[in-house]
Amino acid sequence: MKYYFCSMARKPVLLLFLLMLVLQHSKAQVYFKTSDLFKRPATDEKAGSLNIIQPPAIDTLISRYVLANRKLDGGLEGFRIQIFRSANRNAKEESSKERARFMIEFPDIPSYEKFAEPAYFLVKVGDYRTKLDCTKDLTLIRKKFPNAYPVPDIINFPDLNKK
């Protein structure tokens, strides 16, 4: 009888322990505030303050979004057309020539000369938000630069004043 009682008492204790363990891990979400990302010296406590009441999960999502976009170096995700890539000894001079040729042929489209590790010199053109926008200019560019192709890249913000 004693042995039967001990095994019956162990089951609820074991279940209670497992329940506490699961509850402890379910609260593992770390919350942090967006205001912690943008520290400013306060001259007056009430000056320029705005009190927003929201769940901490929303503030965490906004903070993660801000931190992820800091990696983009002031740009946004989009597409560019790559017209040149080389790792030859004189690749730097060739890329400059290709870019100059492109700027003469297409003066309205911005061009960018970049160096990519380990030893590639690239010429990319345009700032396109979608691949569809990129494809419109790609057909024109391929007439002069047949090896051109679209690549995902960090692009500059579009000029909203331009029509």
* Position 124 confidence tier, pLDDT thresholds 50, 70, 90: very high
Domains and CATH numbers, the chain: 76-155 (3.30.70.1070)
Average pLDDT for the chain: 80
What confidence score (pLDDT) does residue 43 get?
64
The sheet that has 149-155: what strands, in order across it? 111-116, 120-128, 76-86, 149-155
* Position 47 confidence tier, pLDDT thresholds 50, 70, 90: low
Contact 80, 153 (CB under 8 A): yes
Q: Is the pLDDT of residue 97 over 90?
A: yes
The Cα-based distances of 140 to 71, 97, 147, 148 in angstroms read 32, 19, 12, 10
Burial of 33-56, coded b for 16+ CB within 10 Å and e otherwise, reads: ebeeeeeeeeeeeeeeeeeeeeee
* Position 29 confidence tier, pLDDT thresholds 50, 70, 90: low
pTM for the full model?
0.58
Among candidates 133, 87, 85, which has minimal Cα distance to 112?
Answer: 85
The Cα-based distances of 163 to 50, 158, 159 in angstroms read 36, 11, 9
Considering only residues 25 and 101, tell me which one the structure prediction assigns the higher pLDDT: 101
* Position 37 confidence tier, pLDDT thresholds 50, 70, 90: low
The pLDDT tens digits of the residues spanning 114-123 come to: 988 888 899 9
Contact 37, 63 (CB under 8 A): yes
* Position 54 confidence tier, pLDDT thresholds 50, 70, 90: confident
